[in-house]
Amino acid sequence: MAKISIAGSAVIITSDISLDNLKLIQKYRPQALNLKDEEGKTTLFAVATGESGSVTKYGAVFNGFTRDTEKKATITIMKNDLPAEADKAKAEIADEFGTALNFINKLEALLPAVVEEINTEHAAIMAAIDVQ
C-alpha cells in the first residue's frame, strides 16, 4: 500500500511496488498500469515512470530513480506553501493527493500478478533460446 510522507516542503509518495518492477511492467505490459472503469472502456487513472514525479487526478508519474533502501518507486513533489501545523499540512495533502493515492493503491493490488506473469513468460523464452 502506497504511503505519503512530508519532510519539510517535500511531499513523498512511496509505492509498495519497486521501481524496477514498475519499469518492467511499463516495458512489457503498459496497459496494466491503467486503471479502467467497470466496463473496461475508460481509463480512470494511469501510472508511469519518468524523469520527475508528478500527480494529477488522472495519473501519477514516479521518479525514474530512487534512493529508497528498498528500491520502492517514489514521487517527490515540493510544496513550499504547506501549513506549519502538522494536522493542517496532513489535511491539505489528503485533499490534494488522496484520490490519486486511492487509485495507486488499487493498481498496486493488481501489479504483483502482472510481474509474476512477465517473469514466467521471460523464463520460458529464455529456456527456449539455444546458444551454440
Number of Cα atoms under 13 Å in the Cβ half of residue 30 = 4
Q: What is the pLDDT of residues 48-95, one digit of tens each?
A: 999 889 999 899 999 988 887 889 999 999 999 999 999 999 999 999
Q: Given this model, what pLDDT does residue 67 score?
A: 81
Supply the mean pLDDT for the chain: 93
Q: Which long-range contacts (CB under 8 A, 24 or more apart) does 6-10 make?
A: 6/82, 6/89, 6/90, 6/93, 9/78, 9/79, 9/80, 9/82, 10/76, 10/77, 10/78, 10/79
Q: What average pLDDT does the segment 114-122 reach? A: 96
